[in-house]
Amino acid sequence: GENVEQHPSTLSVQEGDSAVIKCTYSDSASNYFPWYKQELGKRPQLIIDIRSNVGEKKDQRIAVTLNKTAKHFSLHITETQPEDSAVYFCAASTHQTGANNLFFGTGTRLTVIP
C-alpha cells in the first residue's frame, strides 16, 4: 500500500511565526492529499485538501503545496496563533473504482508559544 512519511514529528514556533510541515508519499497513483488537525482529546478534522491537478491551494492562513514529480506536499500556516496548537496529519489517497483507501502520516505536534 501507500507509504506516507511526515516531518517533523514535533514543531514549536512563536506566536505570529510561520509553521511548515512536510510529507512524502510513495504511490504515484495517489491523487488526493488532505490534511487533518486533531486537538487534544478530539477527533481529527479536515482543514484543507489538494488534488493532483493543482499545485497550490490557500485558505486564509493555511496553504498546501504539492509537487507530484517529487512526490511531496507541504502544509504552511502563517501568523500562527495559540489555537493552532494541535497534532496535524497528512494523508494520501488513490482513486480506484470502488476502493478509495486513505493512508496517513505519523503526525506533527505543533506548539505555538504565546
Partner 1 sequence: DVKVTQSSRYLVKRTGEKVFLECVQDMDHENMFWYRQDPGLGLRLIYFSYDVKMKEKGDIPEGYSVSREKKERFSLILESASTNQTSMYLCASRFRGNTEAFFGQGTRLTVV
Secondary structure of the chain in HEC code, one letter for each residue = CCCEEEECCEEEEECCCCEEEEEEECCCCEEEEEEEEECCCCCCEEEEEEECCCCEEEECCEEEEEECCCCEEEEEECCCCHHHCEEEEEEEEECCCCCCCEEECCCEEEEEEC
Which three three-digit cell numbers place residue 1?
500500500
Of 17 and 42, which CB lies nearer to partner 1 in the complex structure? 42
Q: How far apart are CA 88 and CA 106, in angstroms?
A: 9
Site mask for partner 1 (CB under 8 A), range 39-68, x = bound: ----xxxx--x-x-----------------
Of 84 and 107, which CB lies nearer to partner 1 in the complex structure? 107
Identify residue 68 by its one-letter amino acid code: K
Q: Does 28 bind partner 1 (CB under 8 A)?
A: no
Residues 84-103 within binding reach of partner 1 (CB under 8 A): 89, 93, 95, 98-103
Of 43 and 114, which CB lies nearer to partner 1 in the complex structure? 43
Q: Does 76 bind partner 1 (CB under 8 A)?
A: no
Of 73 and 89, which CB lies nearer to partner 1 in the complex structure? 89
Binding site for partner 1 (CB under 8 A): 1, 6, 9, 31-32, 34, 43-46, 49, 51, 89, 93, 95, 98-107
